[in-house]
């Protein structure tokens, strides 16, 4: 469902196209350097320093890179959960044990995803997470996140709310993707922090 927000705001589809166009011009070196910077910034977060379980994801293409961060968290002894896309766009979860534990999965005409190849833990496994790293395309000054529009993480956030779980919600982005305002819909929820290569910005406490 499209939502244009306030007069003068771009709708979500327009903003997605603009951001994906910019990401599409990044080189492999750009992505690699940013991934290392992102990992360094994220690992300084107190929330991640004290986390026992982190729900995350494997970046693909020109997304802000996550693998360096996932491996660093595992090295700290953190249990890292990764999503597996279900046919209805909901997410199942499995544990990450390093790159060898990933399988490249093609979902119809969508971009291939890297998913955990081992045991599936069920959609409710995310409620055990102390921190949830959310993919996104932008975050605004209020902490509102723009996703890709598939609704998978809207379901995750709703599931956390129903369970009374209160993990820290963190988005990893490039610096230019922290914007003034993201169009929002009634089901959208703000995140607690965004990490970019240049630093961390907080919005609210979990």
Is residue 14 in a domain? Answer: no
Query: Whole-angstrom Cα distance, residue 206 to residue 91?
Result: 22
Domain assignment of residue 15, yes or no: no
Binding residue per annotation — 122? no
* 60 marked as part of a ligand binding site: no
73-111 per-position pLDDT tens digit: 999 999 999 999 999 999 999 999 999 999 999 887 667
Please tell me whether 48 is known to bind a ligand: no
Q: Is 176 annotated as a binding residue?
A: no
Q: Which domain holds residue 58?
A: 29-202
Q: What is the mean pLDDT of residues 144-160?
A: 91
12 labelled ligand-binding:
yes
- The whole-number average pLDDT for the span 26-40 is 94
Q: How many helices (H) and strands (E) does the chain have?
A: 5, 11
Percent of the chain scored above 70 by pLDDT? 93
The answer on whether 145 is annotated among ligand-binding residues is yes
Cα–Cα dist 183/144, whole Å: 8
Q: Is 94 annotated as a binding residue?
A: no
- The string of pLDDT tens digits covering residues 49-82 is 999 999 999 999 999 999 999 999 999 999 999 9
What's the confidence (pLDDT) of residue 205? 62
The reply to whether 164 sits in an annotated binding site is: no
pLDDT at 190 over 70: yes
Taking all residues of the chain, what is their mean pLDDT, rounded to a whole number?
90
% residues pLDDT > 90 (the chain): 79
Instruction: Assess if residue 8 is contained within a domain.
Output: no
CA atoms within 13 A on the CB side of 102: 20
Does 148 count as an annotated binding residue? yes
How many angstroms separate the CA atoms of 70 and 1, rounded?
33
153 is in an annotated binding site: yes
pLDDT confidence band for 9 (50 / 70 / 90): very low
Judge whether 169 lies within some domain.
yes
CATH number of the domain where residue 172 is located: 3.40.50.10420
Instruction: Confirm or deny that 14 is annotated as ligand binding.
Output: yes
Do the domain assignments include residue 18? no
13 annotated ligand binder: yes
The reply to whether 39 falls in a domain is yes
The reply to whether 6 falls in a domain is no
Is 131 annotated as ligand-binding?
no
- The pTM assigned to this predicted structure is 0.89
**Residue 204 assigned ligand-binding role:** no
Domain count along the chain: 1
In a domain, 21, yes or no: no
What's the pLDDT at 10? 53
Strands (DSSP E) along the chain, which ranges? 53-55, 79-85, 91-95, 102-105, 113-116, 131-134, 138-139, 145-146, 168-172, 193-196, 199-202
User: Where does the pLDDT of residue 17 fall: very low under 50, low under 70, confident under 90, or very high at 90 and above?
Assistant: very high
pLDDT over threshold 90, residue 40: yes
38 torsion bin: left (phi>0), alpha (psi -120 to 50), beta (else): alpha
């Amino acid at each position: 469902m499209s939502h244009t927000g306030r007069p003068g705001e771009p709708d979500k589809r327009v903003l997605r196209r603009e951001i994906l166009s910019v990401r599409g011009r990044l080189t492999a070196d750009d992505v690699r350097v940013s991934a290392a910077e992102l990992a360094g910034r994220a690992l300084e977060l107190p929330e991640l320093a004290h986390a026992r379980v982190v729900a995350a994801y494997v970046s693909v293409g020109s997304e802000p890179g996550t693998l360096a961060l996932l491996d660093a968290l595992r090295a700290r002894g953190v249990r890292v959960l990764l999503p597996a896309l279900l046919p209805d766009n909901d997410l199942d979860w499995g544990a990450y044990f390093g790159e060898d534990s990933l399988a490249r999965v093609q979902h119809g005409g969508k971009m291939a995803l890297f998913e955990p190849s081992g045991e599936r833990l069920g959609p409710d496994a995310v409620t055990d997470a102390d921190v949830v790293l959310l993919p996104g395309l932008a975050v605004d000054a209020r902490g509102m996140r723009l996703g890709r529009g598939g609704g998978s993480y809207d379901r995750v956030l709703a599931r956390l709310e129903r369970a009374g779980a209160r993990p820290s919600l963190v988005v990893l982005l490039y610096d230019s993707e922290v914007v003034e305002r993201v169009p929002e819909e009634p089901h959208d929820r703000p995140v607690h922090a965004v990490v970019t290569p240049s630093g961390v910005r907080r919005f609210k406490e979990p």
